[in-house]
Amino acid sequence: MSGPRASQLHEKARFLRHASYPERNHGVAIPDDRVPWTVAYPEYRPVSFTAPSVLENWPNGWADPPDVTKLTGVFQSHTGPVAVDGEGRPLNPMGRTGISGRGVLGRWGANFAADPIVTRDGARPGVVEMLAIRRRDTGEWAIPGGMVDRGEEISETLAREFMEEAGVTLDMRDAHELYRGYVDDPRNTDHAWMETVVKHKHLSPAFAASLAPRAGDDASEVRWMALTPENLEALYASHADFVRRALRRIQNP
């Protein structure tokens, strides 16, 4: 089965306006054929934006320095080698977004996350449910994931974030990896973007019934959500695609 086109993986990062961001590319849509960095676009003048919260979290916080040349080493990415521009800034591997700088993201280049998809058989035959959170920042339902701390193992991040966001302790070491790579996210900019590792765990009815989920710091609600087409389409960022992968795994183990 063929995967989605590159432009399909880079739509929310081009067209959706994050609540904290100025309008992308001064309100001018970037044509599909001008998105790749390899294509000349001399009139491209992206809006420069790095949130005050990012700048305030350096040097004694979670953010990289404002001056990208202060960083050492090579930019890492699940997608492969990362190109840089004439100022040494890493370039979004999917292309132009209409915003330069880091937006609300702390790191130059890839900002690594981990997303645990935890499912169970629903009350109705043939219906699968996922433990989902409603994000405080956007109000959308989402996978209860989060950022990988430096030096942290992915399985540790998955378990930690699940506890912090959904109030549930799970051992994610035996979870099945569904995806590793770029995330089409409205926070992405030309020089900072989200990447993730998505892992899936399907719980037995008895174990799922023993859990007592509660909303964490970044969640306003948590619930077992039926994975209907309507609910899938309403999920945050690229989460619908990730959850569909989990459903395919359940249907074809």
What confidence tens digit (pLDDT) does each residue in 61-108 have? 999 999 999 999 999 999 999 999 999 999 999 999 999 999 999 999
Instruction: Write down the mean pLDDT value for the chain.
Output: 93
CA distance 14 to 3: 20
In a domain, 225, yes or no: yes
The residue-averaged pLDDT of 216-239 equals 93
Query: What DSSP state is assigned to residue 42?
Result: T
Token pair listed for 97: 């977004």
CA distance 121 to 130: 9
193 pLDDT more than 90: yes
Distance from chain centroid for Cα 196: 6
8 pLDDT more than 80: no
Token pair listed for 251: 């249907």
3 pLDDT more than 90: no
Question: Number of folded domains in the chain?
Answer: 1
12 pLDDT more than 90: no
In a domain, 41, yes or no: no
The residue-averaged pLDDT of 16-27 equals 93
In a domain, 232, yes or no: yes
In a domain, 138, yes or no: yes
* Beta-strand runs (E) in the chain: 47-50, 99-103, 109-121, 128-135, 141-142, 146-147, 176-182, 192-202, 219-226
In a domain, 197, yes or no: yes
- For residue 201, what is the domain's CATH number? 3.90.79.10
57 pLDDT more than 60: yes
In a domain, 81, yes or no: no
CA distance 227 to 41: 41
Question: CA Rg, the chain, in Å?
Answer: 19
Domain holding 172, by residue range, is 110-251
Helix (H, G, I), strand (E, B) or coil at 234: coil
CA distance 126 to 106: 41
In a domain, 5, yes or no: no
- Residue 232's pLDDT is 96
In a domain, 171, yes or no: yes
